[in-house]
Amino acid sequence: MSVRILALVGSLRAGSHNRQLAEAAVKLAPEGAEVDLFEGLAEIPFYNEDIDVEGAVPAAATKLREAVASADAVLLFSPEYNGTIPAVLKNAIDWLSRPYGASAFNGKPLAVVGTAYGQYGGVWAQDEARKAAGIAGATVIEDIKLSVPESVVRFAETHPGDDTEIADKLTEVITQLQGRATAPAAA
């Protein structure tokens, strides 16, 4: 049985290097793991408790909650916007944190990776994403990290999946997350 890892990308831009990194993860998943790229974060309205009521939850938010609930683990791909987490990713985390006490994240191993233009590869945003996801109920795996700096230069002519160093590191991230998802009680 394959471990299903759901990938959420914090950039909506078609040419996003984080999206390309997630696409590479789909292709590089080792045997026994399957990485599914979630589509639809742009359709989810900003979290508002007034619209998060039984029988009236927006379909896009329900689709996200169901996708995470059915996954064995979650892998977030976060760029860095003004030194922090992008709104689209934070909004997804907010929807997933509810209803209170029944987060779709509960007990799910989660890792955060990404790339950014700056010299640190988006580590501030990735740290913020880990913090928010942990508060939302995810079992954040702090030691699984990949921050790729200077994305605009590094991936100007090379897709992340074709960069041997990045492909190897990304494969290791997926392998580690797969191991955490299959460990007893997702240790």
Nearest to 125 by CA among 139, 142, 113: 113
Q: Looking at the chain, list the stretches that DSSP marks H as alpha helix, in order from N- to C-terminal side.
A: 17-28, 59-70, 87-96, 123-135, 151-154, 164-182
User: How far is residue 151's CA from residue 15's CA, in Å, rounded to a whole number?
Assistant: 12
Structure tokens at 47: 């979290």
Read off the pTM. 0.95
One pLDDT digit (tens) per residue for the chain, 187 residues: 799 999 999 999 989 999 999 999 999 999 999 999 999 999 999 999 999 999 999 999 999 999 999 999 999 999 999 999 999 999 999 999 998 889 999 999 999 999 999 888 899 999 999 999 999 999 999 999 999 998 999 999 999 999 999 999 999 999 999 999 986 544 4
Q: Is the CATH number of domain 3-186 3.40.50.360?
A: yes
Domain segments of the chain: what residues?
3-186
